[in-house]
Structure 1
Amino acid sequence: MTALEAVASWPVPTAAAAVIGPSGVVDTIGPVDEPFWLASVTKPLAALAVLVAVEEEAVSLDDPADPELLPGATLRHLLAHASGLNEDNVRTGPTDIPPLRRARVVAPPGTRRIYTNAAIEQAARLVEAGTGMPFGDYFSEAVVRPLGLTATTLDGSAGHGGRASVADLARVVAELLRPTGFLAAETLADLRTVQYPGLRGVLPGYGPQAENDWGLGFEIRAHKQPHWTGAGNSPSTYGHFGQRGTFVWIDPVADLALVALTDRPFGPWAIDAWPALADAVLAEHR
């Protein structure tokens, strides 16, 4: 029995998963070519598109997030969930992303980790302004086409509106494990480096964290407890999970990545199943 066979016993209608190593996909289970709703696993994919826009100089990580609403906050703050923005205070704009009403800023930039869809949606608006393209179209040009993705779409929110297959996400994480030039080495290093270290915040589903570390669009495991990855995952593990019962992590120390997509919302079943699967995969393939 391989580690991934445990996925077949998960209490979900449909699930698919893949283990990715230095040479590519090493094991799969389930309908890996079927698209699933990603929920917040959309965020790291959207962040990759934003970083392509940075490399194309359409935007800069130092660009103001919104000078009037968020003085001092930048695109970097938005991607790292450190802008002070909450779900209700991003201004509307000419975009297909559902607008949110304006409200108060809840913290100065760089002082708290406030995880929101709004931050990634505002980052998408900056890319729209810099490129003159709807973010969904830019996402297709910047991420889907270059990486050869065949079942990945983004319709609506850059924070949670994506769909993709395990096979497509395996291509993405394979590029992160063994880069071939999709992003510059310096950009990739920045992506997986803790931005604004030491910020407290709430990890959704797992509660307050004294240090809720985040990179650029990717969560960083560090020393969070409890956590959705395994006890054997290194502190440098980075990735994301979504409320649709979806996750992806990349462990650069183990030189492994794991993708799992389901069609059952995140809940107690996942809190038990995901770390156990991670530790089994690490034990089998490391």
Structure 2
Amino acid sequence: MQSLRLIENWPVPTAAAVLVRGADGAVLGAHGPQDHAFPLASVTKPLTAYAALVAVEEGVFELDDPAGPEGSTIRHLLAHTSGLAYDEQRPMAVPGDRRLYSNAGFEVLAEALAKASGIPFAQYLTEAVFQPLGMASTRLDTTHRTPAGAGGVSTAADLARFAAELQAPRLLDPSTLATATRQVAFPGVSGVLPGFGHRRPNDWGLGFEIRDGKQPHWTGQHSSPETFGHFGQSGTFLWVDPAAGVACVALTDRDFGPWAAELWPVLTDAVLAELGSAQP
């Protein structure tokens, strides 16, 4: 994939990208050091969410079990509608009323999972997600201020395995994944999309942002509304475009900023255009 070479022009010390096909999980292209470990920042959240969804299927807890502030549930925490503040466990709104993006909410989620399962969250995440998918170079930095929300460390090669799982799940029932990635949780709720401003509505699934019609956006102008994923403050992203049948991961070691808001959509549109031109 020649389009992935665009990362060579990004103003970052190190970058790696990989494109994964949905039908069979095949790597269609890769560029940059695939085994270099990058801090994921908020790209950790989809991993944490996946562990929570595994826990739901295992009967550890249920999506509508109480967790967090009064009136909040596991579902609210996953969808950033618990009402908790961004970086502290302080209620700012009634659960379900606003999409308040919250690292603190993911820490409460991890605490709830650990309490219900009797297993430390980092261990549960490793055993439920990383090990089954062969993500041997991925870990949770438990010394991070918000490990479950932003403390992941991984490689492009490992996240390619997770990207394949998101398109053809083996660890979850497909209906569970569809609920998390294709159904808007608490439709119509507005809120701030970090780095891009207020959105009405600010659609989100369970641990995954759903693109819908948001403009501007960190994916491409030609990304389908069904595109879902997450980006991180450390200059990282993972998106899945079901309409195109592919997922893309890009990892860098420069914090998100105007450079990323400008260049990430260019890469995405170039990838989608190259895929389109390759179709028979």
For the superposition of Structure 1 and Structure 2, which TM-score range results when normalised by the shorter chain? over 0.9
The alignment status of 1:134 with 2:120, answered yes or no, reads yes
- 1:59 aligns with 61
Given the superposition, is the C-alpha separation of residues 39 and 89 from structure 1 closer, same or farther in structure 2, using an over 3 Å criterion?
Answer: closer
Q: Please list the CA deviations of residues 156-193 of structure 1 after superposition, one character each: whole Å capped at 9, or x if unmatched.
A: 210000001011111011111123x2101121111112
Given the superposition, is the C-alpha separation of residues 130 and 19 from structure 1 closer, same or farther in structure 2, using an over 3 Å criterion?
Answer: same
1:106 to 76, 92, 96: 92
The alignment status of 1:205 with 2:204, answered yes or no, reads no
Deviation at 1:88, TM superposition (A): 5.3
Identity among equivalent positions (%) equals: 56
Q: Please list the CA deviations of residues 208-262 of structure 1 after superposition, one character each: whole Å capped at 9, or x if unmatched.
A: 0011111110011011111000011011100000000000000001111110000
Aligned residue runs from structure 1 range 215-230, under 5 A: 215-230=205-220
SS in 1 for 2:83: coil
Greater helix proportion: 2
How many corresponding residue pairs?
A: 269
- 2:251 aligns with 261
SS in 2 for 1:145: helix
- Maintained 8 Å contact 1:80/1:215: yes
- 2:161 aligns with 171
Deviation at 1:87, TM superposition (A): 3.1
Q: Distance in 1 between matches of 2:152 and 2:168?
A: 24
Q: Distance in 1 between matches of 2:165 and 2:121?
A: 22
- 1:151 aligns with 137
SS in 2 for 1:149: coil
Q: Distance in 1 between matches of 2:87 and 2:197?
A: 21
Q: Please list the CA deviations of residues 60-95 of structure 1 after superposition, one character each: whole Å capped at 9, or x if unmatched.
A: 1111013xxx221100000000111113552xxxxx
- 2:12 aligns with 12
- 1:94 aligns with none
Q: Which amino acid aligns with 1:279?
A: D
* TM-score (normalised: structure 2): 0.94
SS in 2 for 1:208: strand
- 2:105 aligns with 119
Q: Which amino acid aligns with 2:122?
A: G
- 1:93 aligns with none
- 2:179 aligns with 190
Q: Which amino acid aligns with 1:207?
A: G
Q: Which runs of 5+ in 1 are unaligned?
A: 91-102
Deviation at 1:44, TM superposition (A): 0.5
Aligned residue runs from structure 1 range 37-76, under 5 A: 37-66=39-68, 70-76=69-75
Q: Which runs of 5+ in 2 are unaligned?
A: none
Q: Which amino acid aligns with 1:217?
A: G
Q: Distance in 1 between matches of 2:191 and 2:46?
A: 19
- 2:231 aligns with 241
Q: Distance in 2 between matches of 1:6 and 1:194?
A: 32
Deviation at 1:116, TM superposition (A): 0.9
Deviation at 1:121, TM superposition (A): 0.8
SS in 1 for 2:249: strand
Q: Which amino acid aligns with 1:147?
A: L
Give 4+ residue runs of structure 1 displaced > 6 Å after superposition. Answer: none
* TM-score (normalised: structure 1): 0.92
Aligned residue runs from structure 1 range 21-40, under 5 A: 21=21, 22-23=23-24, 24-40=26-42
SS in 2 for 1:269: helix
Q: Distance in 2 between matches of 1:85 and 1:225?
A: 26
- Maintained 8 Å contact 1:59/1:130: yes
C-alpha RMSD of the superposition: 1.1
Q: Please list the CA deviations of residues 17-56 of structure 1 after superposition, one character each: whole Å capped at 9, or x if unmatched.
A: 0011133110000001111000000000010011111111
Q: Distance in 2 between matches of 1:59 and 1:33?
A: 35
Deviation at 1:126, TM superposition (A): 0.6
